[in-house]
Amino acid sequence: MEESLLYIQRIKAMYQSRTFSKSDRLIADYILAHPTCVASTTAAELGEVTGTSSATVVRFCRKLGFSGLVDLKMSMAYRYANGENIIMDLDRGDNVHQIKQKVISFTKMVADHLMESLDDQALACAAQEILRAEQLVIVGEGGSGTICRAAYDIFLKLAIQCRYVSDPLFQAMEIGSMKQTDVLLLIVNSGRTANMVQNAQLAHACGIKTIGIVGSSNSPISQYLDIEIRTSLFRSDYFSDLAAARTCELTAISILHSIIALSCDEARLAKGQRIAAFMEKKRLPNS
């Protein structure tokens, strides 16, 4: 069982999320059939063999999170130079230690790509909007819903007035009662969950600021987001893409937490300490 790393997994994930155009699919099909071609071809050559163009190849690479084909190659070269294994495989004969090493290597790779895909300006703007919001409403469902619950916990400890709503009907009611001084945070990895897209559309139409943590740009929800924090989409036959998605989402929330924590005034910090003190009352003393 052979699993090609980074760009192959991203291609599979974006293929599955239906974010590729017809020309993108031509390039994707060729690369999936010839995964090592990237290292030895130019954008013009790849465009010619796929019946597209060099400009289309560059745009395709940008959708994968790279600035172009050269950047993709440089990323591969960097991993080789640092002794990173570009091809990870899982075999039925692997023991627990080998599986552990490979899964951790995959997780490191996810974190490395997240460093490249997260936009500093989007993070800064999102943190600013959350900090000055009268109310922060957090919505999500499925796997991303678990991160919404964690985000509620994280922001509440910073004395951010926030609510987490998981039920679709209650989400609609909540959005209907929000003011333009509030902020709606949507966490949706695929960017195309029907209910989440509708939530963003409703809030956007009401003039409510919308922030989305999504796996890929140009997804159906993108047009309704004021601030889009793009993480990464991963698709692997042998490693958990669900775990990868949650890792990306939680890391994005953690970064927002740190930015906000460093921007808090004394009054908010005092509220946070008061919340921490009340939490401590719920814990039994150490024996």
| Domains identified in the chain and CATH numbers | 2-89 (1.10.10.10), 120-280 (3.40.50.10490)
Interval 219-270: pLDDT, tens: 899 999 999 999 877 666 667 778 888 999 999 999 999 999 999 999 998 9
Place of tokens 């760009």: 7
CA–CA–CA angle 61, 67, 68 (5° rounding):
50
Average pLDDT over the chain reads: 87
Residue 87: pLDDT band with limits 50, 70, 90: very low
Query: pTM for this one?
Result: 0.75
Which of 72, 20, 57, 9 lies closest to 217, judged by CA? 20
Confidence check: pLDDT of 85 > 50? no
More confident residue, 77 or 71: 71
The token pair at 21 is 């155009």
Q: Which strands make up the sheet holding 209-214, listed edge to edge? A: 162-165, 136-139, 183-188, 209-214, 227-230
- Judged on CB neighbours under 10 Å (0-12, 13-18, 19+), 245 is buried
